[in-house]
């Protein structure tokens, strides 16, 4: 059932885009059955954020069945329950970074592998330059069920928009839902590339810090704002697939 009438225009737009993000994660095989989360602020007027209903696959998430929770993890609106680890991880970022509107967390195969490497992520190709000296790390503390971990997550993320949760997975955040998704898309791609190049056993060409920093700055040019140009194309992809994200 479409409940658009129950939400103002801004909240409904955020719900549609967040639900689309779930379906895109499903399309690009960045899901873990019913686990993991993608969250987004409900609206500028509210101190709450939207999260998936626990038990749903990503391709079952819709704009109307997203749950609204407050910064203490309480359900404000919607039917169903949440996985509390989603509140711990995402709530930490939403509380600490007011400019962030979306947080995405995954357990992709390549991401998990890189999260277990002592040296972490090593960007070496063009699309990976956006992560040069811009990746934070958070040590694993077991299942994220304790509120005390929120402070550590926020502290370790700092001012970056990308974090590798050691022995756990990947996290990205953005000022838009599109930015958070595209960062995750390229982060997972970078992890895959690192594993691919390492598996060859051949010497790897590593660009200098100077050229990588220069390229990272190019990606920060407003003309190439991450997610801005890609998002409409990705929504068209979902529409062509007759996705139910708008329901």
Q: pLDDT digit string (tens) for 59-112?
A: 999 999 999 999 999 999 999 999 988 898 999 999 999 999 999 999 999 999
The number of domains in the chain is 1
* Domain annotation covers residue 245: no
Token readout for 200 is 């060859």
Look-up of token digits 């190439």: 224
Is the predicted pLDDT of residue 195 greater than 50, yes or no?
Answer: yes
pLDDT value, residue 2: 47
Residue 143 confidence class, pLDDT cut points 50, 70, 90: confident
Average pLDDT over residues 168-189: 98
Which residues constitute the domain of residue 44? 4-237
* Domain annotation covers residue 246: no
Taking the C-alpha atoms of residue 56 and residue 235, their distance in angstroms, rounded to an integer, is 21
**Would you say the C-alpha torsion 240, 243, 246, 247 has a positive or negative sign?**
positive
User: What are the CA-CA distances from residue 175 to residues 65, 97, 117, 144 (Å)?
Assistant: 23, 10, 29, 24
Residue 142 confidence class, pLDDT cut points 50, 70, 90: confident
Tens of pLDDT, residue by residue over 206-232, are 999 999 999 999 988 988 899 999 999
Tens of pLDDT, residue by residue over 4-13, are 768 999 999 9
* Domain annotation covers residue 68: yes
Token readout for 57 is 């696959």
What strands lie across the sheet with 169-174, from one edge to the other?
75-77, 67-70, 48-51, 37-41, 102-106, 169-174, 162-165, 136-138
* Domain annotation covers residue 43: yes
* Domain annotation covers residue 247: no
pLDDT value, residue 148: 83
Residue 3 confidence class, pLDDT cut points 50, 70, 90: low
pLDDT over 90 for what percent of the chain? 89
Angle at 80 between CA 74 and CA 86, to 5 degrees: 55
Please give the model's pTM, rounded to 2 decimal places: 0.95
For residues 123 and 224, which has the higher predicted lDDT (pLDDT)? Answer: 123
pLDDT value, residue 144: 80
pLDDT over 70 for what percent of the chain? 98
The CATH code of the domain that includes 113 is 3.40.225.10
Q: According to the 3-state scheme, what is the secondary structure of the chain? A: CCCHHHCCHHHHHHHHHHHHHHHHHHHCCCCECCECEEEEECCCCCCEEEECCCCCCHHHCCCCCCEEEECCCCEEECCCCCCHHHHHHHHHHHHHCCCCCEEEEECCHHHHHHHCCCCCCCCCCHHHHHHCCCCEEECCCCCCCCCCHHHHHHHHHCCCCEEEECCCEEEEEECCHHHHHHHHHHHHHHHHHHHHHHHHCCCCCCCCHHHHHHHHHHHCCHHHCCCCCHHHHHHHHHHHCCCCCCC
* Domain annotation covers residue 18: yes
Residue 121 confidence class, pLDDT cut points 50, 70, 90: very high
pLDDT value, residue 1: 44
The pLDDT mean for the chain works out to 95
pLDDT value, residue 190: 98
Is the predicted pLDDT of residue 185 greater than 50, yes or no?
Answer: yes
* Domain annotation covers residue 224: yes
């Amino acid at each position: 059932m479409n409940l658009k009438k129950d939400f103002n225009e801004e909240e409904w737009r955020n719900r549609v885009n967040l639900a689309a993000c779930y379906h895109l994660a499903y399309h690009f095989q960045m899901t873990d059955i019913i686990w993991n989360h993608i969250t987004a602020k409900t609206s500028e007027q509210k101190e709450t954020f939207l999260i998936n209903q626990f038990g749903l696959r990503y391709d079952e998430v819709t704009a109307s069945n997203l749950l609204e929770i407050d910064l203490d993890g309480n359900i404000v609106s919607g039917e169903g329950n949440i996985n509390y680890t989603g509140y711990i991880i995402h709530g930490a970022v939403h509380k600490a970074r007011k400019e962030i509107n979306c947080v995405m967390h995954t357990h992709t195969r390549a991401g998990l592998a890189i999260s277990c490497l002592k040296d972490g992520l090593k960007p070496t190709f063009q699309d990976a330059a956006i992560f040069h000296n811009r990746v934070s790390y958070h040590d694993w503390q077991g299942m994220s069920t304790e509120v005390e971990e929120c402070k550590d997550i926020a502290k370790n993320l700092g001012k970056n928009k990308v974090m590798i949760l050691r022995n756990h997975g990947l996290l990205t955040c953005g000022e838009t839902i599109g930015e958070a998704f595209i960062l995750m898309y390229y982060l997972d791609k970078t992890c895959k590339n690192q594993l691919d190049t390492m598996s060859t056993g051949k010497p790897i060409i590593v660009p200098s810090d100077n050229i990588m920093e220069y390229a990272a700055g190019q990606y920060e040019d407003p003309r190439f704002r991450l997610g801005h140009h890609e998002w409409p194309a990705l929504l068209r992809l979902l529409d062509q697939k007759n996705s139910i994200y708008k329901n």
